Amino acid sequence: MGEPPRGWTAHSLDIRLLPEVVARALTEDLGQGDLTSLTLIEPAALGRAQIIAKAPGILCGLPLGQEVFAQVDAQRSVAWSPLCQDGESVAPGQVLVEITGPIRAILMGERVALNFMQQLSGVATATATLVKACAGARARILDTRKTVPGLRALQRYAVRVGGGVNHRFGLFDAILIKENHIAAAGGVGPALERARLAGPMVRVEIEVETLAQLDEALAAGADLILLDNMDLETLGQAVARTAGRAKLEASGGVTLETVAAIAQTGVDFISAGSLTHSSTALDLSLRLL
């Protein structure tokens, strides 16, 4: 896969990840072969299919679909022709992709391609919904590490497609001092002091649960603070106390019903684990014509 496939966007992830993750998914689904298609469909039978949206949402995952059909057909004779791009709004009944080639290959790749596209489109749609709800506020929507194991890079891509921003990718690329770290280190101040030993290029964030802890973090020079499970009144007080001395992230209890009010408190970021751990898959269907 030398060049980015059609349907990719400016939010793209490293396309070198795709062959491996798709190969694992196909091995899981196909095993020794698709018994139904191998039994019922003649090897030389050719056909045409369409992937169709059955619900409104934000499309994401087209390159995964393309990679699926490239791998299920050893001759690479399946033609994948997207009619839109990742990040586009789609409507029920809209044709998203035209696929032509061996019917066996089309049917063998159908479920895996749809699984990827439905899951990622669900994440992108949920993200876009929260982003829209915060329109007019400065708060940016963040994801978390609460991702499906093995799919983090793909889900993070979907968050970007939906208009969100990625938090740290894993435990290795930033420091996030949480309540257990604070307890083990002996308090907010000592935890921040030790964290700075990682070096000036390492981003450090600390989680606080009370305004008193916020004051400690500010006194210790924290520049990124996570406000954990604070109510709206307390969030507003935290923003006022901070007065721009640090960036603030609100986390906990973030839903479509609450996100706008949280954004109006003046925080800089709002993180929502639900984007990647419980977004509803977008309903898509493949129809053989």
Model pLDDT for residues 117-163, shown as the tens digit of each residue: 999 999 999 999 999 999 999 999 999 999 999 999 999 999 999 99
* pLDDT at position 75: 84
How does residue 76 score in pLDDT terms, banded at 50, 70 and 90?
confident
pLDDT at residue 10 greater than cutoff 90: no
CA distance 256 to 211: 25
| Residues annotated as part of the active site | 111, 146, 178, 207, 228
* pLDDT at position 15: 77
- Mean pLDDT score of the chain, rounded to an integer? 94
pTM: 0.93
Q: Cβ-count burial of 165 within 10 angstroms (0-12 exposed, 13-18 middle, 19+ buried)?
A: middle
The pair phi, psi for residue 265, each rounded to 5°, is -70, -20
* pLDDT at position 11: 62
* pLDDT at position 1: 34
- Domains belonging to the chain, first-starting first, are 15-129+279-288 (3.90.1170.20), 132-277 (3.20.20.70)
* 203-217 pLDDT per residue, tens: 999 999 999 999 999
